[in-house]
């Protein structure tokens, strides 16, 4: 555990990619089972069922005053670090192996967690405690991507990183077949790709000025970008399952899809809410998200369907190396053979010049799509966000000027900075918040806002600072919809700070009534 926690400590503090790779390789040179645990942790595949962030908070409140913890957490901006630092240090015990420690934790009974896990935290050093809590909360955020881990392994054993990438999702802890193959002791692990979740092909935002000059419109096809959730549907004669973009099985939440789909394929598409293939807004879709199950009533009120974009496998045949145009033929074939009222196809937009496409992007159906996707006709199905194949071109965002009201410190890389901003507009003679944003600004703007907040705080509510009402923010957002939970009666979808409006005065900002009128909200 000492060795692994100092690996993480060094990784987080090393800016150089090459040194990170070297640190990882030095660790992976150890030949025992600990490297398997390390690989599972670094690729975010290890977690403890009963020990999550809320449990950890409960444990730390048993040890220290809740308010003092909250002040500290607000300051540090990272749960693992706050707990590891504030935990009253007892005498350090004998350092355990990473593998032994993890197996011991897995054996703890649910009823004894508070006692047993606290005991373990007591006996660790500061840095080990930080590491263990990071493992529990998942998502290490130490500046090491899964790709970097794979690269380190590939370079260490002189294998192409793409070959690791290809079999990655078919591998399981303790990855013995992977390590044996890397050392040339066996051949490459055989993976049944038909039964596997495949990381999705993602798009990069288009740079209107640079990209359109370089790209030939004839080589691309366009489709609308729908505002739902991206899914992968796996159909075989034996079973049907539905996966989210991150590879979570979400079948049980959408029984109507599972029950009605037939055939033998892996489909990539967008899950949307709506009747007769007419998408309703994202607000409606939200009624179906983050639920384990869906009642009959819910299914009726908010029916879902899948708008298919692509096909990866058809009757056992791997289509991923075919071109998009070829795959589309298979997709149409699949749809014809297995007609249901739950799957339709994403239609292809005909255009000959980029200028022509602009009209489609901005005008079509107003709120129901987010813009267009531009895909290279020749593109294979490649996992991840590879450059040069697929682009997304979002509609121009909606904008509103609002007044900065409150601020709070951020987390992760923005910890210590006041980087979460709540802003509002007028309602009669008072201001009401209409949203909160923690992105969009430049580094320079963040420094200016942070400084303004520190020097112009008029009230503190715990970690929240109320500031003098002087700064006008131009806020960009995707949508505005009615909300009963907010005092202003409206809520924003994906608000972000567009810029600071130095040229505008506080009394020039609009009021809620005008805002609602502008976006057709009653």
Give the interface with another protein as residue ranges (CB under 8 A). Answer: 9, 12-15, 64-65, 67-69, 71-72, 75-78, 81-82, 85-86, 89, 130, 143, 412-413, 415-416, 454-455, 460
d(CA 177, CA 168): 11
DSSP per position, 141-176: -SS--HHHHHHHHHHHTT--HHHHHHHHTT--TT-H
Query: Closest distance between another protein and the C-beta of residue 91, in Å?
Result: 15
Contact present, 404 and 419 (Cβ < 8 Å): no
Q: Which is nearer to another protein, 75 or 173 (CB)?
A: 75
Of 33, 57, 45, the residue nearest 117 (C-alpha): 57
Q: Which is nearer to another protein, 77 or 435 (CB)?
A: 77
Query: Closest distance between another protein and the C-beta of residue 143, in Å?
Result: 8
Task: Please give the angle made by the CA atoms of 25, 28 and 33, to the nearest 5 degrees.
Answer: 175
Q: Which is nearer to another protein, 429 or 459 (CB)?
A: 459
Query: Closest distance between another protein and the C-beta of residue 390, in Å?
Result: 33
Query: Closest distance between another protein and the C-beta of residue 347, in Å?
Result: 47
Q: Which is nearer to another protein, 9 or 516 (CB)?
A: 9
Q: Measure Cα distances from 158 to 28, 131, 155, 282, 426 in Å.
A: 14, 30, 5, 47, 63
Q: Which is nearer to another protein, 78 or 165 (CB)?
A: 78
Task: Please give the angle made by the CA atoms of 360, 363 and 215, to the nearest 5 degrees.
Answer: 30
Q: Which is nearer to another protein, 9 or 436 (CB)?
A: 9
Query: Closest distance between another protein and the C-beta of residue 66, in Å?
Result: 11
Query: Closest distance between another protein and the C-beta of residue 147, in Å?
Result: 20
d(CA 396, CA 288): 28
d(CA 35, CA 22): 15
Query: Closest distance between another protein and the C-beta of residue 459, in Å?
Result: 13
CA 342 to chain CA centroid, nearest Å:
26
Contact present, 23 and 5 (Cβ < 8 Å): no
Query: Closest distance between another protein and the C-beta of residue 10, in Å?
Result: 8
Q: Which is nearer to another protein, 6 or 204 (CB)?
A: 6
Query: Closest distance between another protein and the C-beta of residue 407, in Å?
Result: 14
d(CA 177, CA 42): 18
Of 393, 323, 399, the residue nearest 364 (C-alpha): 393
Q: Which is nearer to another protein, 201 or 453 (CB)?
A: 453
Q: Which is nearer to another protein, 216 or 461 (CB)?
A: 461
Q: Residues 405-415, buried b or exposed e (16+ Cβ, 10 A)? A: bbbbbbbeebe
């Amino acid at each position: 555990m000492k060795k692994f926690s100092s690996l993480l400590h060094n990784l987080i503090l090393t800016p150089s990619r090459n040194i990170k790779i070297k640190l990882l390789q030095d660790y992976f040179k150890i030949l025992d089972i600990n490297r398997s645990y390390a690989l599972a942790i670094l690729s975010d595949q290890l977690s403890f069922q009963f020990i999550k962030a809320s449990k950890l908070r409960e444990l730390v409140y048993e040890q220290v005053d809740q308010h003092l913890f909250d002040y500290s957490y607000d300051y540090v901006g990272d749960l693992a670090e706050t707990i590891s630092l504030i935990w009253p240090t007892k005498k350090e015990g004998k350092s355990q192996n990473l593998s032994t420690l993890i197996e011991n934790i897995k054996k703890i009974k649910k009823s004894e967690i508070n006692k047993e896990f606290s005991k373990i935290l007591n006996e660790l050093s500061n840095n080990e405690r930080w590491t263990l809590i990071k493992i529990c909360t998942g998502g290490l955020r130490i500046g090491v991507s899964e790709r970097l881990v794979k690269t380190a392994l590939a370079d260490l054993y002189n294998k192409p990183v793409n070959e690791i990438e290809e079999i990655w999702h078919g591998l399981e802890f303790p990855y013995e077949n992977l390590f044996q193959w890397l050392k040339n002791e066996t051949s490459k692990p055989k993976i049944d790709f038909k039964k596997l979740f495949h990381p999705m092909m993602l798009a990069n935002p288009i740079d209107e000025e640079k990209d359109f000059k370089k790209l030939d419109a004839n080589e691309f096809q366009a489709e609308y970008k729908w505002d739902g959730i991206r899914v992968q549907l796996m159909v075989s004669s034996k079973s049907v399952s539905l996966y989210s973009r991150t590879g979570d099985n979400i079948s049980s939440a959408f029984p109507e899809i599972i029950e009605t789909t037939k055939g033998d394929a892996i489909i990539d598409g967008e899950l949307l809410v709506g009747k007769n293939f007419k998408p309703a807004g994202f607000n409606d879709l939200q009624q179906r998200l983050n639920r384990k199950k869906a009642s009959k009533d819910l299914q009726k009120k908010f029916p879902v369907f899948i708008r298919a974009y692509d096909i990866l496998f058809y009757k056992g045949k791997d289509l991923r190396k075919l071109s998009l145009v070829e795959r589309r033929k298979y997709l149409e074939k699949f749809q014809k053979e297995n007609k249901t009222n739950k799957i339709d196809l994403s239609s292809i937009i005909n255009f000959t010049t980029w200028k022509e496409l602009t009209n489609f992007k901005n005008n079509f159906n107003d709120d129901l799509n987010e813009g267009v996707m531009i895909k290279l006709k020749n593109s294979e199905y490649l996992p991840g966000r590879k450059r040069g194949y697929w682009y997304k071109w979002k509609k121009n965002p909606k904008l509103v000027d609002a007044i900065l009201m409150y601020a709070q410190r951020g987390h992760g890389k923005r910890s210590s900075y006041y980087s979460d901003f709540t802003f509002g507009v007028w309602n009669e003679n008072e201001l009401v918040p209409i949203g909160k944003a923690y992105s969009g600004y430049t580094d320079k703007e963040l420094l200016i806002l942070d400084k303004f907040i520190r020097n112009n705080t008029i009230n503190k509510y715990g970690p929240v600072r109320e500031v003098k009402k002087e700064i006008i923010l131009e806020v960009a957002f995707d949508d505005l919809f009615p909300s009963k939970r907010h005092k202003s009666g409206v809520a924003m979808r994906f608000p972000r700070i567009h810029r600071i409006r130095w040229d505008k005065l506080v009394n020039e900002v609009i009021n809620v009534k005008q805002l609602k009128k502008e976006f057709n909200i009653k």
